[in-house]
Structures are given as C-alpha cells and as structure tokens.
Amino acid sequence: MNGESALAPDAEDTALLARIATGSEAAMGVFYHRHEARVYAFVMQRLGNAADAAEVLNEVMLEVWRSAKHFAGRAKVTTWLLGIAHNRSIDLLRRRGRRAADSLDFDVVDDRPDPGPAAVAHAQNGEYIRRCMHGLPEAQRQVVHLTFFEDLPYGEIAEILSIPEGTVKTRMFHARKALAQCLEQLGARP
Amino acid sequence: MPESTEQHPRELLPWLVNGTLDGAEHEAVSRHVAACAACQAEVSLLRAMRRGVKAVEPAGAGELGWQRLRRGLGGQVRTVTPRWVIPAAMAASLVIVAQAALLVTRAPETVRYEPLADPVPTEVLAQVRFTPEASEADLRALLREAGVRIVDGPSAAGVYRLAVEPDRDPEAAARVLRERSDLIPHFALER
C-alpha cells in the first residue's frame, strides 16, 4: 500500500480539505500535487498560454487554501475545484482586457455528414488534435476537455461551467463537428 | 434525459464514450447504437478524439508551481533555530565584512563586459517550457535554428518568453519550435 489511503479519491480529497482548513501545509502540498496537472490543463484550454495558466493555477490553489473550511460537500471536490478554476480564468481574462468569450450556442440541427474514415484515423494523431483543438472557440474547447480529458458526466460539466446541461451538449455537438471537419482537412493536405 | 434517448441520442454519444452515462441512459443509448451504423461510425470517431485529447494535454506547473504557492500561503514552515547557529552566523558575517573591506581597498581593476549579442529584439513570439532533460547544447542549437532568443524567464512555473530575430519569419520560427516537442513540451504563441 505504501502508506496510501484506502479511501475513494473524493473521500481522500474531502479529508485533505478538512486538514487544509486547519492550516495544514502538508495537506495542502498533497492536494496541490494531486490536482495541479488537472487544473493547469483545464485553464490552458481557456487561456491558451503557459504563463497565464500557471498564474491561474496559483490563484486557484490559494483560494483552496483560504476556502477549504467553506467546502460544504454538496459537489465533488474536483467539481468544486474546476469551478473555481473556471471563475479565476474569467477573472484573469477580464483583467487582461480580453472578453471571456462564450460560444454561440445555436440550436442543434443534425445536418452533419457521417464522419469519414480519415477523420477517425487523424483523430489519433496528437499533433492534428492539438491544432484542431486550438481552432475551437474557447467555450467549446473547455467542454471537449472536460468530456474527454477529465471524463466527466455532462451534469458535472454544466455545474463547473455554470451553464445548462443542454448548453453543454450543444457546445459538444458543434465542437465535434468542427473537429471532424478540421481533421479531415488536415489529412487531405499534402 | 428520457426525451433525448427516445429521439436520436447522438448528442449523448460523447458521454457514452467516456463512460459516464447513468444506467437507464446508458442502456437506451447503447441499444440505439447497436442498431445504428451512423452512430457506430460516430462512436469510433469520438473514441479516437478522446484518445487524441488525452495524449496531448499539457502537464502541470510541477514542483516550481508548488514552491510558488507555498510562498503565497503565508505559513512558511517554522523551524527552531539551534543555539549554535547564532554565534556561527555572527562569525560568518564578520568574515564577509572583512572580505568586503579588502576588496574596496584594492586598486580597482577595469573590467568591461561586452554584450553577447545585439539589443534584444522586441517582437515576443511565444512562451515555452523546456523539458528538464534538454541539454544547453540542444536548446542553443534549436533556438539558433528557429531564429529566436530568450528575452524573459524563467517564471516560477519555468516559463520562458522567446522573441524572434528581426530578420526571421515568426511563423517559420514557431513551426521549428513546435516540431521539437521533445525539447519544448509546452508552447504557446503570445497573443
């Protein structure tokens, strides 16, 4: 066991927050190392550069340090944490004078052609995926990230982003369509 | 979401793929997909996208990020100073003062530092982090090939800012840097 806890991940996180609330720097260190990559990856989707992502990561963890005593357990710890990260990202964009862009959430019209085999093959190319993700609107990129990197249910994604569940599905729909088109086009280039 | 699954469940397929649909939804969507060729193709695409997304996500800020946070916590680890440290520190201070006195009483030597390069170019191109395994020689060769130089950093998170030389093409420079993800795992154009 190497001294690891047998608690479920969320129970471990809740226990850590309880210790952080008492001022335990050691618990904060464990919490930080458990979640920093997750928070960093999430805010990178919104902010697009490493320095800003590192800045927001620091702010998020400082808020965890200050607010741990207020965590009520109504949501999973990761949902609470990524919700803070979402809000801090918007704060930073506003400070920088950049609009916290939201996706235009059109009604879903299912007029897509079936994905071609090229899109499937190219989706596994990391460089292609990176380029195509970069081309998505920020709000759609966040939903793709939370769905496929974090493997979160749409209800939790809605909670983190403070949007209706239907909007999560709509953003994912448009993102998936744009990604498939981008992957097809990249593969067609010589 | 019974109304969605009774119609066409395409909008739920991403969550079928990531395995987070609840029992009833999962059962309804899976049943539909088993009889829907277009949905099966869609699921294949979404699975490939998921693998691709997981493969390219960046790492975090690492130990440097923790050290930065720790400074901000305001609760630095308090250690008890052993009694012998205080006189030892005083003695060390005296040595430093004596050495400084020797230095200032010597005849000053004229030391001229020449700049290693032209003034720093102004067009900042990107923010990057280098892999810890990269050697100085590797980085030097890459920066020269791309026509960029370091103008800022490292930040607490190990981020450097690179500027492109005035006579070089920024897009070509970015392409060269991006191709070396073995040395630069994190690359972001400045906006």
Kindly indicate the confidence band of residue B59, based on its pLDDT and cuts at 50, 70 and 90. low
Task: Considering only residues B73 and A86, tell me which one the structure prediction assigns the higher pLDDT.
Answer: A86
Q: What's the pLDDT score for residue B53?
A: 85
User: Of A48, A115, A119, which has the smallest distance from its Cβ to B191's Cβ?
Assistant: A48
Q: Are B157 and B61 in contact (CB under 8 A)?
A: yes
Find how far residue B169's CA is from the centre of its chain: 24
CATH node for A9-95: 1.10.1740.10
The alpha carbon of residue A108 is apart from the nearest alpha carbon of chain B, in Å, by 9
Residue B150 dihedral angles phi and psi, to the nearest 5°: -80, 125
Q: Which of B22, B40, B55 is the last residue of a domain?
A: B55
Interface test with A, best of B57, B77, B129, B186 (most A CBs within 10 A): B57
pLDDT of A103 higher than 50 = no
Helix (H, G, I), strand (E, B) or coil at A171: helix
The alpha carbon of residue A1 is apart from the nearest alpha carbon of chain B, in Å, by 24
Using the Cα atoms of residue A160, residue A166, residue A167 and residue A169 in order, give the sign of their dihedral.
Answer: positive
Q: What's the pLDDT score for residue B88?
A: 54
Those residues with Cβ within 8 angstroms of residue B81's Cβ, 6 or more apart along the chain or in another chain: none
Task: Considering only residues B20 and B146, tell me which one the structure prediction assigns the higher pLDDT.
Answer: B20
* Cα nearest neighbour of B76 on chain A: A25
Q: What's the pLDDT score for residue A138?
A: 85
Residue B97, domain member (yes or no): no
Helix (H, G, I), strand (E, B) or coil at A77: helix
Residue B108, domain member (yes or no): no
CATH 3.40.50.10440 corresponds to the domain A117-188 = no
Residue B74 Rama label (left phi>0; alpha psi -120 to 50; beta): left
Residue B141, domain member (yes or no): yes
Q: Are B159 and B128 in contact (CB under 8 A)?
A: yes
Q: Which domain holds residue B48?
A: 2-55
Residue B60, domain member (yes or no): no
Strand ranges inside chain B, DSSP E? 124-129, 148-152, 160-164, 186-189
Per mean pLDDT, which range of A19-28, A161-170, B3-12, B70-79 is the poorest?
Answer: B70-79
Span B75-92, average pLDDT: 47
Residue B115, domain member (yes or no): no
Closest CA to A41 of A173, A146, A168, A174: A146
Q: What's the pLDDT score for residue A172?
A: 94
Kindly indicate the confidence band of residue B79, based on its pLDDT and cuts at 50, 70 and 90. very low
Residue B137, domain member (yes or no): yes
pLDDT of B56 higher than 60 = yes
Taking the C-alpha atoms of residue A155 and residue A171, their distance in angstroms, rounded to an integer, is 14
pLDDT of B118 higher than 60 = no
Domain count, chain B: 2
Cross-chain Cβ contact A32/B186 below 8 Å: no
Same fold, A9-95 and A117-188: no
* Domain CATH for B156: 3.30.70
pLDDT tens digits for A31-74? 999 999 999 999 988 888 888 899 999 999 999 999 999 998 88
Closest CA to A85 of B190, B34, B140, B60: B60
Q: What's the pLDDT score for residue B91?
A: 61
Taking the C-alpha atoms of residue A27 and residue A31, their distance in angstroms, rounded to an integer, is 6
Q: What's the pLDDT score for residue B84?
A: 46
Residue B63, domain member (yes or no): no
Q: What's the pLDDT score for residue A34?
A: 93
Task: Considering only residues B159 and A183, tell me which one the structure prediction assigns the higher pLDDT.
Answer: A183
pLDDT of A27 higher than 90 = yes
The alpha carbon of residue A150 is apart from the nearest alpha carbon of chain B, in Å, by 9
Most confident segment among A40-44, B78-82, B83-87: A40-44
Closest CA to A179 of A127, A126, A135, A118: A135
Taking the C-alpha atoms of residue B127 and residue B78, their distance in angstroms, rounded to an integer, is 36
Residue B80, domain member (yes or no): no
pLDDT tens digits for A134-188? 888 888 999 999 999 899 999 999 999 999 999 999 999 999 988 888 888 876 5
Domain boundaries, chain A: 9-95, 117-188
Q: What's the pLDDT score for residue B178?
A: 82
